[in-house]
Amino acid sequence: MSAAMGWLGGSFDPVHDGHLAIARAAADKLGLARVLMVPAAIPPHKRDRRLASGADRLALLSLACASDPRLEPSDVELQREGPSYSYDTALELRRRYGEDTPLDYIVGADTLQDLASWYRIAELAELVTFCAVTRPGSSLDPQFLAPTIGAAAVARIAENVIAVEPHPAASTAIREALARGDVPDHVPPSVYAAISERGLYGAGSA
C-alpha cells in the first residue's frame, strides 16, 4: 500500500499562517510526506459568497507552500465544474495518485458536527480517514457519527486527532485589512506581495 497522503481543503481566500500551521501539524502528527492544499471552486456551504478567482487563490497557495516541501497546492477542485463536493474530490485524488493511496482528510473538529449533511457522506467515509483538528486539551468523542459513517470510520477519527494551538489568523479579517489599505497580519510576505501586485481584495484601492 502507498504511503498516506494528507488533504486539507477550504476556500483559502486568501491562504494565511493559520492554514499553514494546521497543515504542518497534520504532517508532523500523521507522518505525512505530502499534504495537498485544495482550494474549492464552489464551496457547497459558501455558494453565496464571491471568492477571488481559482487561479489567483492557487497562485497564492503556491507561494505559501514554497517554504515547506511537504505542502503542495492542488487544482483538483478548480478543474471541475459545479459544487466542490469532497466525495468527487476523493475519487479524483484516487485516480491521480492510485486507488491504494490512503487519504487523510484534515478537517476542523467543528466540521464533524455537519458531516451528516455532506454529499454522499457514507461513501466518502469509506474513501478517506477524517483527521480532526482540535485545540490542545480539548476532547473529541466522535461516537455520535456512528449512525452516519459507521463504527470503523469513527474509530479511525478517534485515532487521528490533531491538537493544534489556536491561531488568530482569519481570512475575513485579512480581506477587511486589505480593503482598508492596511498590511494584514498572519499572511506570508510573498503572499502579501502577490496580493498587492494583483490588486486582490481591494489592495491598493484605499
Amino acid occupying residue 134: T
- CB-based contact 37:8 (threshold 8 Å): yes
* Number of structural domains in the chain: 1
> Is the torsion defined by CA of 98, 99, 102, 107 positive or negative?
positive
> Could you report the per-residue pLDDT of 93-122, keeping only the tens digit for each?
999 999 999 999 999 999 998 998 999 999
Distance CA 176, CA 181 (A): 9
**Confidence at residue 205, expressed as pLDDT on a 0 to 100 scale:** 56
Amino acid occupying residue 10: G
Q: What is the CATH number of the domain that holds 24?
A: 3.40.50.620
- CB-based contact 150:127 (threshold 8 Å): no
**Confidence at residue 46, expressed as pLDDT on a 0 to 100 scale:** 66
What pTM value is reported for the model? Answer: 0.94
**Mean pLDDT across the chain, nearest whole number?**
94
Listed as ranges, residues in the chain with pLDDT below 70 are 1, 46-48, 204-206
**Confidence at residue 136, expressed as pLDDT on a 0 to 100 scale:** 85
Give the structural domain span for 58: 5-202
